[in-house]
Chain A
């Protein structure tokens, strides 16, 4: 059998067997609509509420503070649009980091067309935002600050509690995109002090198309999907019951297994980082060296195209990414890497590894065996690498 090493777990994960088993009855035997009043439906409503409690427990929320969504993108849209529309009378200024996911950046840009003002906050070389800078930027008409808990592209974890404190003191709502964090590090919304947090089923090994938004009890939020009574009128549409059951089961398993997963992937990640730095010259670790997701390693490799590297690695059975799965197809220089000051020509060589508990030391050994070889091959064809060697020789 051909060797296959999958290290792109931020983009997609296999759904766990236990999760699939839990979901199966809700495709056929238990197919009722939760909004119906007869037992076939009320039973399903009770099941959905159990899953709500499981997701809430994973992040330290109350069940009634969870809205199920179709994933992280919808949760981010609901948070930003829901707050911006519901609190327009209070103000029209939104602050987001320049390094946010497209679902946050484009939601914010949408409001620029609607007479709102958006500040795209600069970050430092590690991608960190400065809470004091947020304090300075908040003005009377500011209604929302949205900063991702961690970046899927560079792995850096933000000082979320400090930012939440600044926002609370200023009377501004604070949303964090937790898609990269929930399932990878412990998250407690009450300890963090956030008003809203988005999560996705993907890092939990739940099905794609599942996710949720935490919103602090009492918060006014304009629905994106107007409809019936589902999700207490905050998200219309018949519930994706199998998906919600899958998300709930995955949340339950994550709560039990997260410490073990974190230890496992961190050991492998550290081995990968030191191995790459030692075996390949002119490579830069992107993001913060310590304050980063435990299973996340990201680099910029000089004088190559990240897409070519990803493609060639896949022919060796190694599956990685150049950055955000959504952005990499656009063949555009990553705005996240540009925001942390990586020169455009170096940013082209971006490569991101996201590990999971199923990865092994042998997987990392295999990557460290193949990666220098593949990088060498690409560099041998790269005019940029030739220039670098000539420059070094003449200096």
Chain B
């Protein structure tokens, strides 16, 4: 697990209080509207996301930057690398 601090994000997706599989669907939808190189911050309190999101990034060809632990939630950072980022690859996963 790669821990990071003070990452500047271009957009934020708040998934706190929402559970599986939203953390594998909504990042893709959000990334689809972002430009290559931009950073998405995903806020979640779902523990499963700590494993799922890095592996989802690998499958979808996005760059997983790392995790920051906050008081209320985890912050996961993804850099858009390619494609429309719609995460469709994750549906069967």
A residues bordering B, Cβ < 8 Å? Answer: 37, 82, 85-86, 89, 218, 220-223, 226, 228-229, 232-234
Complex contacts, B16 vs chain A, CB 8 Å:
86, 220
B: interface residue count bin? 10 to 19
Q: Is the CB of A221 within 8 A of B17?
A: yes
B18 / chain A contacts, CB cutoff of 8 Å: 223, 232-234
B14:A220 contact, CB within 8 angstroms: yes
User: Which of A37, A86, A218 contacts B17 (CB under 8 A)?
Assistant: A86
Contact of B72 among A37, A89, A221, A233 (CB under 8 A): A89
Q: How far is the CA of A233 from the CA of B16 in the complex (A)?
A: 11
CA distance A86 to B19 in the complex (A): 13
Is the CB of B1 closer than 8 A to any CB of chain A?
no
Q: Say whether B25 contacts A229, CB under 8 Å.
A: yes
A-B contact count (CB 8 A): 28
User: How far, in Å, is A161 (CB) from chain B's closest CB?
Assistant: 27
Q: Which residues of chain A come closer than 8 Å to B21, judged between CB atoms?
A: 228-229
- 10 interchain pairs, CB-CB under 8 A: A37-B91, A82-B17, A85-B17, A89-B71, A89-B72, A220-B14, A229-B22, A233-B18, A233-B19, A233-B22
Encode contact with A along B8-47: 1 for CB under 8 Å, 0 otherwise. Answer: 0000001111110110011000000000000000000000
The main secondary structure of chain B at its interface with chain A is loop
A-side contacts of B19, CB under 8 Å:
226, 233
In the A-B complex, the 5 residue pairs with the smallest Cβ-Cβ separation, listed nearest first, are A233-B18, A233-B22, A222-B17, A86-B17, A220-B16
Complex: A234 Cα to B26 Cα, angstroms: 13
Do A218 and B14 touch (CB < 8 A)? yes
Looking across the interface, which residue of chain A has its beta carbon closest to that of B91? A37
A228, closest chain B residue (CB): B21
**B71: A residues at CB distance < 8 A:** 89
Chain A contacts of B15 at CB under 8 A? 233
Chain A residues positioned under 8 Å from B25 (CB to CB):
229
In Å, the complex CA distance between A234 and B19 comes to: 9
In angstroms, Cα B22 to Cα A86, docked, is: 17
| CB-CB contacts below 8 Å: B75-93 with A | 91
Contacts of A37 in B (CB 8 A): 91
Smallest Cβ-Cβ distance to A227: which chain B residue: B19
Could you say which residues of chain B place their CB within 8 Å of the CB of A82?
17
> Bound complex: CA of A229 vs CA of B19, how far in Å?
9
CA of A342 to CA of B38 in the docked complex: distance in angstroms? Answer: 63
Q: In the complex, A319 Cα to B22 Cα: how many Å?
A: 47
Of A220, A221, A223, chain B has the most CB atoms within 10 Å of the CB of: A220
Which of chain A's residues have a CB closer than 8 A to the CB of B72? 89
Query: In the complex, A37 Cα to B25 Cα: how many Å?
Result: 13
Residues of A within 8 A of B14 (CB): 218, 220
Question: Shortest Cβ distance from A62 into chain B, in angstroms?
Answer: 15
| Residues from chain A with Cβ under 8 Å of B22 in the complex | 229, 232-233
Q: Which of A82, A86, A229, A232 has the most CB of B within 10 A?
A: A229
Nearest B residue to A85 via CB reads: B17
A27–B17 Cα distance when bound, in Å, is: 33
Q: Which residues of B contact A232 (CB under 8 A)?
A: 18, 22, 26
Asked if B17 and A223 sit within 8 Å, CB to CB, the answer is: yes
Q: In the assembly, what is the distance between CA of A85 and CA of B17, in Å?
A: 9
A37 CA to B91 CA, complexed, in Å: 10
Nearest-neighbour CB distance to chain B for A229, whole angstroms, equals 6
Closest to B16 in A: A220
**Complex-state Cα separation, A233 to B17, whole angstroms:** 9
